Amino acid sequence: MLVFLLSIVIGLLMVIVFRYTSDQKAIRVAKDHLKAHLLAVRLFQDQLQVVLISYWRIVRSTGNYLRLAFKPVLYISVPLILLMVQVDRYLGYSPIQVGQSFLVEARVSDANALDQASLRLPQGLSLTAPPVHVPASNEIIWRIVSEEAGTHEVGIETGDQSASKSLAVSSGIDRISPVRLSGRWWERIFVSGESALPANSPVQSIAINYPERTISFAWLEWNWIWLFFVLSLIFGFLFKTVLRIEI
């Protein structure tokens, strides 16, 4: 339901933004020229010279249309991407359920830190298996079970230093950050909802394998992003027709 409502709102906003950031008259002319050249190919298909000239004009008209559409698409796409990154924090993954087992994976800077790494768990979480070390990638993996709902902090200690990662245990919709990273601010924008790990920490990343959320719609299981794109395009074209906006 949330994705459905979001798609309606974004579909309407997209066509409105396109309307007021584009040259509607020029787009209409470019589309008319394109249709005329396509018609010429069909009508004069037995005249090679006319067909070749029409194909060239089709390419030129398409390029002109893309040039006219570039600015409004840019105005739409940049804020839309930023919005989707934020919404994905809530709809991209499901929180861990009470009684559900999950993995905590930590990557450290070197083999020495790998040998020293240990897990610190708050009340409501417990370890269910010994840690697994992966020397080839300097990773260590713990299997944990949740016993209590809420937001918890899972700690990784390496010698006298420590780093932590938030964990959401809930049966509803929560803001989820699947990984906490050190540095890499550009990557953090898209995949992490937390601040960077301390710069001097040997821990490079801490990840929790949250289950991906799927949405049942039209007899299929959808990732919310694909469903959002399909629905927003459908509603966008509906609003475009109703409001008589050239796209």
pLDDT of residue 112: 81
pLDDT of residue 178: 93
Q: Which of 7, 1, 79 is nearest to 225 (CA)?
A: 7
**Both tokens assigned to 97:** 């359920």
- Residue-range definition of the domain harbouring residue 46: 2-92+215-243
DSSP category for residue 181 = E
Say how many domains are in the chain.
2
Residues 201 and 139 in one domain: yes
Cα–Cα dist 181/195, whole Å: 8
CATH number at residue 132: 2.60.40
pLDDT of residue 218: 81
pLDDT of residue 180: 92
How many CB atoms lie under 10 A from the CB of residue 74? 10
Cα–Cα dist 98/135, whole Å: 31
**Both tokens assigned to 228:** 């959002």
Q: Which residue in the block uniquely carries the two structure tokens 């790494």? A: 117
Residues 150 and 186 in one domain: yes
Cα angle for residues 85, 173, 14 (degrees, 5° grid): 40
Residues 17 and 62 in one domain: yes
Residues 57 and 125 in one domain: no
Q: Which residues of the chain have pLDDT under 70?
A: none
**Both tokens assigned to 73:** 């698409």
Cα–Cα dist 98/200, whole Å: 34
**Both tokens assigned to 87:** 């919404």
Residues 66 and 119 in one domain: no
Residues 133 and 76 in one domain: no
Exposed / middle / buried, residue 205 (Cβ in 10 Å: 0-12, 13-18, 19+): buried
**Both tokens assigned to 247:** 């796209």
Q: Whole-model pTM?
A: 0.80
Residues 87 and 108 in one domain: no
Cα–Cα dist 68/27, whole Å: 7
Residues 84 and 9 in one domain: yes
Q: What is the pLDDT of residues 86-115, one digit of tens each?
A: 899 999 899 999 989 999 999 988 888 888
Residues 75 and 20 in one domain: yes
Residues 31 and 16 in one domain: yes
Residues 52 and 118 in one domain: no
Q: Coil, helix or strand for 77?
A: helix
